[in-house]
Amino acid sequence: MPETLAIAAPPVQPVLDIREIRRLLPHRYPMLLVDRVESLEPGVSAQAIKCVTANDPFLVGHFPDFPVMPGVLIVDALAQTAGIMLRSGPADRPAAAPSSPAGRPGMLAGIPRMRFFHPVVPGDRLVMRVRLIKSFGSTHRVSAEAEVDGRQVVAGELDLAS
């Protein structure tokens, strides 16, 4: 009997692929830190993926002998995920272009709380989840967390401004 390779469950169909993400976010190389959006409830919650590879430019210097994704970049990846959630807006309002003033919700305005539990290294598939806690005026507070292989690596809250 031939040996069979264990095949993982097929990946979740992306809600937004990288081309659609580029339409929502102004970020480009080397700062576009979201590869795929797996679930999206506009203005409410989102789940997105960042696949970390040894070729990621920030790993060149962080660190040459011990590549670890910088925590601040994980925070920015979470902020970008939150930006996608906010930019996609309520279902009845079309998403604004990133270049328009109305299309700018997503500027990081504060990090009220954030903890890092485990290093994120090449080969890791960072699963990021954000959920809106409260909007007031032009400012939004979101809870944000990320896990790798089901293990939480970072969790906290972010403030984003329009």
Partner 1 sequence: MQTLEIDHQSTIKQGLKELIVERLNLHIDPASIGDDVPLFANDEGSEGGLSLDSVEALEIVVGIEEKWGVVIQDDSMASEFRSIDTLSSLVGRLITEDAKVAISA
Give buried/exposed letters for 21-42 (b at 16+ CB in 10 A, else e): beebbbbeeeebbbbbbbebeb
Instruction: List beta partners, residue 156.
Output: 114, 144
Type of residue numbered 133? I
Q: Does 30 bind partner 1 (CB under 8 A)?
A: no
Q: Which of 125/141 has CB closer to partner 1?
A: 141
Q: Cα(156)–Cα(148) distance, rounded to whole angstroms? A: 16
* Residue where the block lists tokens 């328009």: 100
Binding residue for partner 1, selected from 30, 110, 119, 123, defined by CB under 8 A: 110
Q: Does 143 bind partner 1 (CB under 8 A)?
A: no
Q: Which of 45/143 has CB closer to partner 1?
A: 143
Select from 27-35, 65-73, 86-94, 108-116 the region that touches partner 1 (CB under 8 A).
108-116
Q: Cα(40)–Cα(142) distance, rounded to whole angstroms? A: 14
Q: Does 109 bind partner 1 (CB under 8 A)?
A: yes
Q: Does 129 bind partner 1 (CB under 8 A)?
A: no
Which residues are near partner 1 by CB under 8 A?
Answer: 109-110, 112, 133-141, 159, 161
